Chains A and B, each alone.
Chain A
Amino acid sequence: GAGVSQSPSNKVTEKGKDVELRCDPISGHTALYWYRQSLGQGLEFLIYFQGNSAPDKSGLPSDRFSAERTGGSVSTLTIQRTQQEDSAVYLCASSLTPVPTGSSTEAFFGQGTRLTVV
């Protein structure tokens, strides 16, 4: 596609329910990132996928959070048993960055999914 696409754009869920957030990266991009943007907290790194390598999950805040990337393209971020503190905008980004050649391109961001847990 022309850009990174995220769905849904808005999600309201009840506390304790599970939610799935979807990200369609730019076609051909091998790197995919998930970030969480909370008011006053900036962009918090959650997880990073690069090609067929094991994902870097070091930013996931708890075991309620998980993500997968099927076929090296679409990614789904799942939050189980949602809590009110999970309310935030979840941003996905993709890039062409190859490693370890060292060349670098920027990450392109989707518009995000605004999650509200009530």
Chain B
Amino acid sequence: AQSVTQLDSQVPVFEEAPVELRCNYSSSVSVYLFWYVQYPNQGLQLLLKYLSGSTLVKGINGFEAEFNKSQTSFHLRKPSVHISDTAEYFCAVRRINTDKLIFGTGTRLQVFP
């Protein structure tokens, strides 16, 4: 079975500072990886995804993530955050031979002025 671990439930950071949200997964087979964002009182939307190819994936709003197979990680990064990045961020994994999408427990990013 696959699982997703987001170690940080909350990450407070000041505006314009860099941020990294951690995601680790476990799976016995190859996977696809996703980051979703949920802004306050809104639905989930896709931030970025890794399917294959380059391990560095760029997404919307200046976010990027790096797939590290040896460490089974897919950490999300942004070099300089804005107040508007305050949201809940979810990492998700899908095995390549199924469609079942499993999410982590989420990380609340709070950006302070």
Contact = CB atoms under 8 A, between A and B. Distances in A.
Interface of A: 31, 33, 35, 40-43, 45, 48, 50, 56, 91, 93, 95, 97, 99-100, 102-104, 106-107, 109-112
14 contacts: A42-B6, A42-B103, A42-B106, A50-B99, A56-B100, A93-B101, A99-B98, A100-B97, A104-B96, A107-B46, A110-B43, A111-B42, A111-B43, A112-B43
Interface string B45-72: 1100101000000000000000000000
Interface residues of B, number: 26
A91 B97 contact: no
Contacts of B44: 43, 91, 93, 109
Contacts of A50: 99
Contacts of B51: 103-104
Contact of B104 (A42, A95, A99, A112): A42
A93 to B, nearest CB: 8
B34 A106 contact: yes
A42 B100 contact: no
Interface string B1-28: 0000010010000000000000000000
A45 B104 contact: no
Contacts of B49: 104, 106
B90 interface: yes
A105 B40 CA distance: 25
Contacts of A109: 36, 43-45
A41 B88 CA distance: 12
